[in-house]
């Protein structure tokens, strides 16, 4: 059996990444990917059984990292109320880690959030929104102090803010390819986002003091 060449495998992955980004998973074809990789159409199947396996190879590792951080955060929800201050520090660490993943793997996240319709990953964007929403809900409850003061409006606010952040990140990595520009825009988005969250929290604290 002829030995599979790593450079050919890398060429296939690069061609698939480009195709999935530009066309989306559903419209991409194995024939076009093989052509862009510089190999015969039939030869690509010696390396990957189909588009699904190619997609897993490209975005699977990033998805697993993202899912691991979300699972770790969810386990932190069982931390007793007396340790809420430490939990807040952990929230900040999780947020910074997720942002780092977006910057480091912007192409993979672009496919994951914007081009994965019809795959097992198509739910990830909504999962990320719910993840951010849960962090905000816990943040608001911590600020409220007395959990009975947490209202349905707080939940609606958390949902809106979470959607705004994830949609903003999705648009940045969809519309831009330059790494420097992506990092700058993500940082600016977070500056605006964090300023807004700080204002909301201070407003909540003011209400609590009345």
Q: Give pTM, 2 decimals.
A: 0.81
> For 52-100, how does the pLDDT look when each residue is reduced to its tens digit (9 = 90+)?
999 999 999 999 988 888 887 777 766 554 455 565 666 677 667 778 8
Write down the pLDDT at residue 63: 93
> For 172-208, how does the pLDDT look when each residue is reduced to its tens digit (9 = 90+)?
999 998 989 998 999 999 899 889 888 888 888 775 5
CA distances from 207 to 12, 133, 146, 193, 197 (A): 57, 22, 12, 21, 15
- Lookup: tokens for 169: 């990140």
- Lookup: tokens for 156: 């609606």
> For 25-54, how does the pLDDT look when each residue is reduced to its tens digit (9 = 90+)?
999 999 999 999 999 999 999 999 999 999
Annotate 14-34 with b (16+ C-beta within 10 A) or e (fewer). ebbbbbbbeebbeebebebbb
Question: Who contacts 74 (Cβ-Cβ below 8 Å, separation ≥6)?
Answer: 134
* Sole residue written with tokens 């480009």: 18
| Mean pLDDT value of segment 119-142 | 88
Cβ–Cβ < 8 Å for 20, 28: yes
């Amino acid at each position: 059996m002829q030995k599979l060449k790593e450079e050919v495998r890398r060429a296939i992955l690069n061609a698939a990444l480009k195709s999935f980004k530009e066309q989306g998973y559903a419209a991409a074809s194995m024939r076009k990917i093989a052509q862009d990789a510089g190999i015969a159409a039939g030869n690509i199947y010696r390396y990957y059984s189909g588009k699904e396996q190619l997609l897993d190879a490209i975005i699977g590792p990033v998805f697993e990292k993202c899912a691991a951080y979300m699972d770790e955060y969810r386990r932190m929800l069982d931390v007793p109320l007396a340790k809420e201050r430490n939990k807040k520090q952990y929230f900040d660490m999780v947020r910074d880690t997720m942002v780092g993943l977006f910057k480091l793997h912007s192409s993979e996240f672009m496919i994951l959030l914007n081009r994965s319709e019809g795959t097992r990953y198509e739910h990830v964007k909504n999962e990320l929104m719910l993840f951010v929403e849960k962090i905000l809900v816990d943040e608001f409850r911590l600020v409220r102090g007395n959990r009975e003061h947490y209202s349905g409006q707080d939940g609606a606010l958390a949902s809106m803010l979470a959607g705004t952040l994830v949609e903003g990140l999705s648009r940045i990595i969809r519309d831009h390819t330059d790494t420097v520009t992506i990092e700058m825009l993500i940082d600016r988005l977070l500056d605006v986002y964090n300023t807004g969250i700080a204002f909301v929290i201070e407003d909540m604290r003011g209400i609590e003091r009345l």
